[in-house]
């Protein structure tokens, strides 16, 4: 990062940002890429580029853009969100997408412009959606005249788990956002990839949102390291998530949920047999040096990453056995 050549990226003059964007676009099989501050900004730009005020974006009830992006697409773009239920495997049923379409000739209705598919699907447990499904949605979106955007915050986790190139996985989509942070370990940043004209539009929108950064090569350099050296090792995170899950099922008083483990995530909840509640468990584990996250009221999510090794997995399971004994 310290040695990265930099320039003013608002003028497109930062060679490190340019290198990151080209590399990201190539890995996603798209024409161009745009370095953005976060996954949230990448998804927001994609929606703003496609939908005008009063237009509609179809997504899952468990979709990150619906649940956890502060309603930005509606607040900033006047975009209507039309949610349909995520299936247990994280997918959106093609028939539900078809049925969610508005009638473009009826002046009472918003106009359906895009569909967003999340892969891996975070709130459904970190599940992967296979190439066949992604292709099916691509065909359907084409038929319905919808832009197909992939929220691929963890698309590399999906690609590693499915043993497929990420470009193949998102081939049927027009655009994809992925995070350099999360499992790829960069401190900051995501990349939005898509056709050249779409990315040019997003560059203007990024500037409008205050996301045009000057000598951003300093942080883009970490993104290049992420793409060059952090992808293959995601398999280790997935293996450790499986080890966590195998250890957890042996502990009385808890049960795995959401089909865990999936990719780098394990979800579980306490049963009526447990000797303590969720908040006590979180507090007790924090005292022992482990941070647990409870995205729902009674469900806990564990995520493995580069800084959690085999020793940490063992130590975690030991602490859990102790506290639930």
Ligand X SMILES: Cc1ncc(COP(=O)(O)O)c(C=O)c1O
122 binds ligand X (CB under 6 A): yes
Binding of ligand X by 40 (CB under 6 A): yes
Q: Does 38 bind ligand X (CB under 6 A)?
A: yes
3-class state of residue 84 by DSSP: strand
Could you tell me the smallest distance in angstroms from the CB atom of residue 86 to ligand X?
Answer: 12
CA 92 from centroid of its chain's CA atoms: 16
Q: At closest approach, how far in Å is the CB of 220 from ligand X?
A: 15
The single-letter DSSP state of residue 116 is E
Which one, 30 or 64, has the nearer CB to ligand X?
Answer: 64
Residue 190 or 264 with smaller CB distance to ligand X:
190
How many residues bind to ligand X according to rule CB under 6 A? 11
3-state secondary structure of 105: coil
Nearest-5° Cα angle at 132, 64 to 156: 50
Q: Is 180 in the site for ligand X (CB under 6 A)?
A: no
First to last CA, the chain: 46
Counting contacts by CB under 6 A, is residue 36 touching ligand X?
no
Q: How far apart are CA 280 and CA 44, in angstroms?
A: 37
Residue 42: CB minimum distance to ligand X, A: 8
Q: Which is nearer to ligand X, 176 or 281 (CB)?
A: 176
The alpha carbon dihedral of 252, 253, 258, 262 has a sign of negative
Q: Which residue, 64 or 113, has its beta carbon nearer to ligand X?
A: 64
Q: Of 86 and 190, which has the nearer Cβ to ligand X?
A: 190
Q: Which residue has the tokens 């399971």?
A: 317
Contact between 153 and ligand X (CB under 6 A)? yes
- Smallest gap from Cβ 280 to ligand X, in A, equals 26
Residue 179 near ligand X by CB under 6 A: yes
- Is 237 among the residues that bind ligand X (CB under 6 A)? no
In whole angstroms, what is the distance from residue 128 CA to residue 262 CA? Answer: 8
Which residues does 62 contact at the CB level (< 8 Å), separation at least 6? Answer: 86, 90, 118, 121, 122, 123, 124
- From 22-30, 34-42, 210-218, 251-259, span contacting ligand X (CB under 6 A): 34-42
Name which position in 28, 47, 56, 64 contacts ligand X (CB under 6 A).
64
Cβ of residue 265: shortest distance to ligand X, in angstroms? 10
Dig out the tokens for 187 from the structure. 């401190």
At its nearest, how many Å lie between ligand X and the CB of residue 103? 30
Rounded Cα distance between 290 and 23, Å, is 35
Q: How far apart are CA 67 and CA 62, in angstroms?
A: 7
DSSP letter string over 25-70?
A: HHHHT-SEEEEES-HHHHHHHHHHHH--TTEEEEEETT-HHHHSST
Is residue 151 near ligand X by the rule CB under 6 A?
yes
Q: Is 150 in the site for ligand X (CB under 6 A)?
A: no
* 190, 260, 263, 304: which one binds ligand X (CB under 6 A): 190
- Residue 181 CB, nearest distance to ligand X (Å)? 6
Q: Which of 118, 178, 217, 234 binds ligand X (CB under 6 A)?
A: 118
Q: Is residue 39 involved in binding ligand X (CB under 6 A)?
A: yes
| Sequence-separated (6 or more) residues with CB below 8 Å from residue 169 | 119, 131, 134, 152, 155, 158, 159, 162
As measured in angstroms, the least distance from the Cβ of 126 to ligand X is 9
Query: By three-state DSSP, how is residue 145 classified?
Result: coil
Provide the binding-site residues for ligand X, judged by CB under 6 A.
Answer: 38-40, 64, 118, 122, 151, 153, 179, 181, 190
């Amino acid at each position: 990062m310290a040695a990265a050549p930099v320039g003013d990226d608002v003028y497109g003059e930062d060679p490190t940002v340019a290198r990151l964007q080209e590399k990201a676009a190539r890995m996603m099989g798209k024409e161009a890429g745009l370095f953005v501050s976060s996954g949230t900004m990448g998804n927001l730009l994609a929606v703003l580029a496609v939908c005008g005020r009063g237009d509609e974006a179809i997504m899952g009830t468990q979709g990150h853009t619906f649940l956890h992006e502060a309603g930005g697409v509606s607040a900033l773009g006047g975009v209507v969100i039309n949610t349909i239920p995520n299936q247990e495997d994280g997918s959106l049923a093609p028939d539900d997408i078809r049925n969610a379409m508005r009638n473009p000739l009826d002046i009472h209705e918003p106009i359906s412009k895009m569909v967003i598919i999340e892969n891996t699907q975070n709130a459904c447990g970190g599940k992967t959606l296979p190439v066949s499904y992604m292709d099916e949605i691509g065909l359907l979106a084409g038929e319905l005249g919808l832009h197909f955007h992939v929220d691929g915050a963890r698309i590399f986790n999906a690609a590693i788990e499915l043993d497929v190139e990420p470009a193949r996985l998102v081939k049927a989509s027009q655009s994809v956002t992925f995070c350099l942070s999360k499992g790829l370990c960069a401190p900051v940043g995501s990349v939005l990839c898509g056709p050249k004209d779409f990315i040019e539009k997003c560059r203007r929108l990024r500037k409008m949102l205050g996301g045009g950064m000057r000598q951003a090569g300093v942080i883009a350099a970490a993104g290049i390291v992420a793409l060059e050296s952090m992808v293959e090792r995601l398999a280790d995170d997935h293996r450790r998530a499986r080890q966590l899950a195998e250890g957890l099922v042996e502990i009385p008083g808890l049960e795995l949920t959401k089909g865990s483990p999936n990719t780098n995530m394990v979800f579980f909840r306490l049963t009526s047999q447990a000797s303590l509640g969720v908040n006590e468990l979180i507090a007790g584990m924090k005292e022992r040096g482990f941070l647990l996250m409870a995205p729902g009221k009674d469900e806990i999510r564990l995520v493995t990453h580069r800084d959690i090794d085999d020793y940490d997995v063992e130590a975690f399971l030991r602490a859990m056995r102790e506290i639930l004994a």
